Amino acid sequence: MTKRVSQRALARRLKVDEKAVRKAIKRGRLSKSIQRGKNGEVRIDPAIAAAEWKQNAAKPPAGEPTSPLVEVQRLVGIQRARQLEIANEARLGRLVSADRVKREQFEAIRMIRDAVLNVPTRIAAQLAAQSDAGAVFKLLEDELRLTLEGVADEMEKREQ
C-alpha cells in the first residue's frame, strides 16, 4: 500500500490547484482514495486518487450544449483571432479597403471609356476620306489598339 498524502501534496502530483482537489473531494469525485483521521484530517492514496481524477474528470455531457458563458468566451476568442488575422493581412499589404478598390475601379473604367470615346473625334477625318471598307476597318483597329495600350500604360504608371 502506498503512503497517503495531503491534499496539497496530491495537488502538486496532479499538477492542479489545491482548490481543485478540495472541490473534487467535496463533490465526491475523489471518494475511494480518501481516508479521514480522528481529528478530521484528510489523507489520500495518490495512486487511487490519480485514477479517480482521470476517470471522474469534469467533462460536459455529450450532445448537451455548454454553458452560455463558455460559448460566449469561445465566440469572443474566434472573433479576436479573425480580427488579428485581418490586421496582419492589412499590415502586410495583402488587404485593401473595399472603398479604395471601388474608387480605383471607377477611375480605371472612366479612363477607358474616355479614351475609347475620343477615338472617333481623332480619326473622323481619316475615316471620311476612305472609301474602302478594309482601310476603314484597319484604321479603326489600329487606333483602338493604340488607345487601349496607352490606357494600359497609364494604369501601370499609376500602380507604381
What pTM, to 2 d.p., does this model score?
0.45
Residue 127 cell numbers, joined? 475615316
Q: Could you tell me the pLDDT band of residue 153, with boundaries at 50, 70 and 90?
A: very high
Please state, in angstroms and rounded to a whole number, the distance separating the CA atoms of residues 28 and 32.
9
Q: Is residue 1 part of a domain?
A: no
- 46, 28 contact by CB (below 8 A): no
- 157, 133 contact by CB (below 8 A): no
- 7, 42 contact by CB (below 8 A): yes
For residues 55-83, average pLDDT: 78
Q: Is residue 62 part of a domain?
A: no
Which residue, among 46, 58, 55, 45, has the nearest Cα to 14 in the 3D structure? Answer: 46
Q: Could you tell me the pLDDT band of residue 36, with boundaries at 50, 70 and 90?
A: confident
Q: Do residue 155 and residue 116 come from a single domain?
A: yes
Which residue, among 103, 118, 107, 106, has the nearest Cα to 148 in the 3D structure? Answer: 118
Please state, in angstroms and rounded to a whole number, the distance separating the CA atoms of residues 151 and 112.
6
- Find all residues with CB under 8 Å of 139, minimum gap 6, and list them: 123, 126, 127, 130
Q: Do residue 118 and residue 134 come from a single domain?
A: yes
Q: Do residue 129 and residue 142 come from a single domain?
A: yes
DSSP state of 92: T
Residues of the domain holding 20? 7-55
- 71, 60 contact by CB (below 8 A): no
Q: Do residue 90 and residue 105 come from a single domain?
A: no
- What are the φ/ψ torsions at residue 68 (nearest 5 degrees)? -60, -35
Residue-wise pLDDT for 87-120, tens only, equals 999 888 888 888 989 999 999 999 999 999 999 9
DSSP codes of every residue in 19-40 = HHHHHHHHTTSS-TTEEE-TTS
Q: Is residue 60 part of a domain?
A: no
Q: How many domains does the chain have?
A: 3
Q: Which of 40-54, 61-75, 127-141 has the lowest mean pLDDT?
A: 61-75
